[in-house]
Amino acid sequence: MDKQAITALIDAQPANTSLDQAFYADADIYQRDVEEVYLKSWLYAGHLSEIPGVGDWFLFELAGESLIVVRSDDDDVSAVLNVCRHRGSRICLDKTGCSKRLVCRYHGWSYELDGQLHSAAHMPADFDKSAIKLKKIHTEVLEGMIYVNFSEKPASFEPIREGLSRCLRPYRLDKAKVAHRQSYSINANWKLSVENYTECYHCAPSHPEYTRGHSLAKPGARSTVMMDEVMARAGTCGLSEESVNCVYLDEPGFGSGYAFERYPMWRGHLTGSEDGQAVAPLLGDVKNYDGGTTDFQVGPVSFALAYCDYVVIYRFTPLALGRSECDITWLVNGGAEEGKDYDKTRLTWLWDVTTLADKRIIEYNAEGVKSRYYEPGPYSNMEEFTWKFMSWYLQAIRP
Ligand SMILES: [Fe+2]
């Protein structure tokens, strides 16, 4: 589809309505999605605790690109493209590793951890190795969480840092550790995955396990007596007394946007778990359970939920036109010991069962959207944020 046709399709999109089939099926639109959304947004890559020592690295892969996220120094993280500057081979092949230098196995070129070429054998006398570096991507660390941005001139991270550090500080995620990480591959265009994440209209029919504990599955959760009770307890529990702090997707400059929103659990539920009871020691400076939970978001496609005892970070990435990945990280108090302080199965139960259900419903959605009889349909009052996301998206990819 050429640029003119894409523009015409965007212009024809009615408000508060799901998108035309082409947005999920057209290869040129998918290309724009990758270029304009994914390669220009701040994306959650991983957590500092996954690369505790100098030389530790992990790969972050999306849409055909591969990044090496490496602890290049005691207090420095680098993200370099996994593309050798010799003839372009992938350098690191495993998902994680620890290396003194990054060595390409094809012709043996080796790089320092910050990407500087260290050695290359049998090169001509005038070869200047100091001029050769692996391409570096912008990185920012927020409370221990590593965000990357492929753009040469990314939107400033400072508004995000200023907006979120204060609210997130009580959880001390910089001192947390990854208890578990899991990827779910979804046979659906990435937008169907994100679209599903942005609304809780489907929670009551599709997620009985989640709906048992979380009031968000019902409309108006944030304007209830329960919410007042949570906010009255927040201060003494050591949690943020701000209940909302957002720069929404429809506000100008959303590239530096973020969201932080608190909402109540049903009374008697302390956290997101099978029985509503705690599954790990309290995080950071949190002193007690206040009966609430927190959603937070960095940029358009990196989401997270913070309970008093653990955090789940959601990362959605496109793998191909009709395939996406949902990667989930469970963070717990850095001092907690598996088997003693928490049981991994209990900790991960809710968001594993919920994500498996999401994978299923998203894939059914993808099947129907491919039908020759599919037509865009109206969003409900509980999909207000989904439309915010979609209207932002349509502007982001507008040629
Ligand atoms: Fe869901």
DSSP 163-205: HHHHHHGGG-GGGEEEEEEEEEEESS-HHHHHHHHT--TTHHH
Task: Judge whether 309 and 52 are in contact, CB under 8 Å.
Answer: no
Assess whether the region 44-140 and the region 171-397 belong to the same CATH fold. Answer: no
* Percent of the chain topping pLDDT 70: 98
**Residue 29 backbone phi and psi in degrees, to 5:** -65, -40
At 246 the pLDDT is: 86
Which H helix or E strand runs over 330? strand 323-333
Report the pLDDT averaged over residues 24-50. Answer: 97
Angstrom distance (rounded) from CA 8 to CA 14: 12
Q: Which of 43-47, 224-228, 236-240, 279-283 has the lowest mean pLDDT?
A: 224-228
Q: Are strands 96-98 and 76-81 parallel, antiparallel or unpaired?
A: unpaired
Q: How far is the CA of 202 from the centre of ligand 1 (A)?
A: 6
Q: How far is the CA of 356 from the centre of ligand 1 (A)?
A: 9
Q: How far is the CA of 178 from the centre of ligand 1 (A)?
A: 23
Q: How far is the CA of 352 from the centre of ligand 1 (A)?
A: 11
Which H helix or E strand runs over 393? helix 384-397
Q: How far is the CA of 199 from the centre of ligand 1 (A)?
A: 8
Angstrom distance (rounded) from CA 8 to CA 359: 32
Q: How far is the CA of 362 from the centre of ligand 1 (A)?
A: 9
Q: How far is the CA of 385 from the centre of ligand 1 (A)?
A: 14
Residue pLDDT, tens place only, 198-224: 999 999 999 999 999 999 888 888 888
Provide the token pair at 330: 């469970």
Q: How far is the CA of 8 from the centre of ligand 1 (A)?
A: 32
Looking at every residue in the chain, the average pLDDT score rounds to 95
Residue pLDDT, tens place only, 267-278: 999 999 999 999
Please name the fold of domain 44-140.
Rieske Iron-sulfur Protein (2.102.10)
* Percent of the chain topping pLDDT 90: 92
Reduce the DSSP state of residue 154 to 3 states and report it: coil
Between the alpha carbon of residue 243 and those of residues 2, 170, 171, 173, 294, the distances in Å are 44, 14, 15, 19, 9
Q: How far is the CA of 210 from the centre of ligand 1 (A)?
A: 9
Provide the token pair at 277: 């009871």
Residue pLDDT, tens place only, 153-194: 999 999 999 999 999 999 999 999 999 999 999 999 999 999
Q: How far is the CA of 155 from the centre of ligand 1 (A)?
A: 29
Q: How far is the CA of 353 from the centre of ligand 1 (A)?
A: 10
Q: How far is the CA of 198 from the centre of ligand 1 (A)?
A: 9
| Residue 93 burial (CB count, 10 A) | 11
At 74 the pLDDT is: 86
Q: Where are the domains of the chain?
A: 44-140, 171-397
Q: What residues flank ion ligand 1 with Cβ within 5 A?
A: 358
Q: How far is the CA of 207 from the centre of ligand 1 (A)?
A: 7
Q: How far is the CA of 109 from the centre of ligand 1 (A)?
A: 45
The architecture CATH gives domain 171-397: Alpha-Beta Complex (3.90)
Confidence of residue 384 (pLDDT cuts 50, 70, 90): very high
Task: Judge whether 374 and 365 are in contact, CB under 8 Å.
Answer: no
Reduce the DSSP state of residue 331 to 3 states and report it: strand
Work out the burial of residue 215: count CB atoms within 10 Å of its CB; fewer than 13 is exposed, 13-18 middle, 19 or more buried.
Answer: buried
